[in-house]
């Protein structure tokens, strides 16, 4: 009999094509030696070409999944992905307070503010942005926006590397413990230098820039590899450095699938 491993929870939507969302998160948790648990927020109808529809799970069923997992199995870190609607965000905020997940509790909480797919399909209702800002960010140990999400959430349109810190400060004002601004969308920059900020320290995370087609699920995979390291007890800077190494390898090994965009890979 083996020992009980670290356990992580993803609160996110499914991807029927197996590339992103809950599927990417579970694959990443397994690849990192972490038991995967899930609270599904929405079932998407999706393939490599895009998202053609989704069905939201009732908020009370999302809350019940979180409670069932945490009160029995226990988790050592949690993350969010696609949250779909304002009522689902409200249910999550209330439930994580109840079960002790979040920046003021023992269980670290990573919020990936997913708003749309890379094909532009909307994954979060317009009226749910306010809930993300006022209810989830201040409960987060870490928020991980890309530059499109930064623009949507703060109005700051980052075009150059030297504007990244302004974005980090604006995100920090929403109340998370740490902010990771991802530079992936800064396409004219020859490198991909993400920054991690906690209101004081600015940690640069340099990495190569890949000119590749297949990057489906890359944001989810980065956030879930960071969550895996947190589940194993890493500090935030160490967890984010691990996540950066993990995603570079996953993008390097990305593979074609279907007629559109293939996923980043967790095959090792």
Cα–Cα distances (Å) from 182 to 113, 147, 197, in that order, read: 12, 7, 12
Cα–Cα distances (Å) from 125 to 14, 56, 87, in that order, read: 17, 11, 10
Question: Interface with ligand PLP by CB under 6 A: which range of 58-66, 87-95, 127-135, 217-225?
Answer: 217-225
218 binds ligand PLP (CB under 6 A): yes
In whole angstroms, the minimum distance from the beta carbon of 185 to ligand PLP comes to 11
DSSP β-bridge partners for residue 8: 36, 77
- Is 117 in contact with 12 (CB distance < 8 Å)? no
220 binds ligand PLP (CB under 6 A): yes
In whole angstroms, the minimum distance from the beta carbon of 11 to ligand PLP comes to 11
Binding-site member from 216, 229, 240, 250 for ligand PLP (CB under 6 A): 216
Helix or strand or coil: residue 137? helix
- Is 17 in contact with 46 (CB distance < 8 Å)? yes
- Is 38 in contact with 22 (CB distance < 8 Å)? yes
Q: How many Å apart are CA 117 and CA 197, to the nearest integer?
A: 25
In whole angstroms, the minimum distance from the beta carbon of 43 to ligand PLP comes to 9
Binding-site member from 117, 141, 228, 266 for ligand PLP (CB under 6 A): 117
Q: How many Å apart are CA 167 and CA 223, to the nearest integer?
A: 18
21 binds ligand PLP (CB under 6 A): yes
In whole angstroms, the minimum distance from the beta carbon of 139 to ligand PLP comes to 19
44 binds ligand PLP (CB under 6 A): yes
User: What is the SS3 string spanning 2-61?
Assistant: CCCCCEEEEEEEEECCCCCHHHHHHHHHHHCCCEEEEEEEEEEEECCCCEEEEEECCHHH
Binding-site member from 11, 75, 82, 231 for ligand PLP (CB under 6 A): 82
Binding-site member from 20, 99, 164, 205 for ligand PLP (CB under 6 A): 20
Please give the size of the binding site for ligand PLP, defined by CB under 6 A.
Answer: 18
Q: Taking Cα atoms as reference points, which of 158, 220, 214 lies closest to residue 183?
A: 158
146 binds ligand PLP (CB under 6 A): no
- Is 181 in contact with 197 (CB distance < 8 Å)? yes
217 binds ligand PLP (CB under 6 A): yes
Closest residue to ligand PLP, judged by C-beta, is 21
Q: Which is nearer to ligand PLP, 58 or 233 (CB)?
A: 58
13 binds ligand PLP (CB under 6 A): yes
In whole angstroms, the minimum distance from the beta carbon of 241 to ligand PLP comes to 22
Question: Interface with ligand PLP by CB under 6 A: which range of 3-11, 110-118, 193-201, 242-250?
Answer: 110-118
Residues found near ligand PLP in the complex (CB under 6 A): 12-13, 15, 20-21, 44, 46, 81-82, 114, 117-118, 123, 216-220
């Amino acid at each position: 009999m083996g020992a009980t491993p670290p356990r992580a929870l993803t609160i996110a939507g499914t991807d029927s094509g197996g590339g992103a969302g809950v599927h990417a998160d579970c694959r990443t948790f397994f690849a990192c030696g972490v038991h995967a648990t899930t609270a599904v927020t929405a079932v998407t109808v999706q393939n490599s070409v895009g998202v053609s529809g989704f069905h939201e799970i009732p908020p009370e069923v999302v809350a019940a999944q979180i409670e069932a997992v945490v009160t029995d199995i226990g988790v050592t870190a949690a993350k969010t992905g696609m949250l779909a609607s304002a009522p689902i965000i409200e249910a999550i905020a209330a439930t994580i307070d109840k079960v002790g997940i979040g920046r003021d509790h023992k269980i670290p909480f990573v919020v990936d503010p997913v708003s749309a797919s890379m094909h532009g399909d909307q994954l979060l209702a317009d009226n749910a942005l306010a809930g993300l800002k006022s209810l989830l960010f201040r409960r987060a140990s870490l928020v991980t926006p890309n530059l499109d999400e930064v623009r949507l959430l703060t109005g700051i349109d980052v075009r150059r590397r030297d504007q990244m810190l302004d974005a980090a400060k604006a995100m920090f004002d929403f109340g998370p413990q740490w902010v990771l601004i991802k530079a992936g969308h800064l396409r004219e920059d020859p490198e991909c230098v993400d920054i991690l900020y906690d209101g004081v320290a600015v940690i640069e995370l340099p990495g190569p820039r890949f000119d590749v087609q297949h990057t489906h699920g890359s944001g989810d995979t980065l956030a879930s590899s960071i969550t895996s390291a947190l589940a194993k007890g890493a500090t935030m800077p160490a967890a984010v450095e691990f996540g950066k190494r993990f995603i570079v390898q996953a993008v390097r090994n990305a593979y074609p699938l279907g007629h559109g965009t293939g996923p980043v890979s967790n095959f090792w």
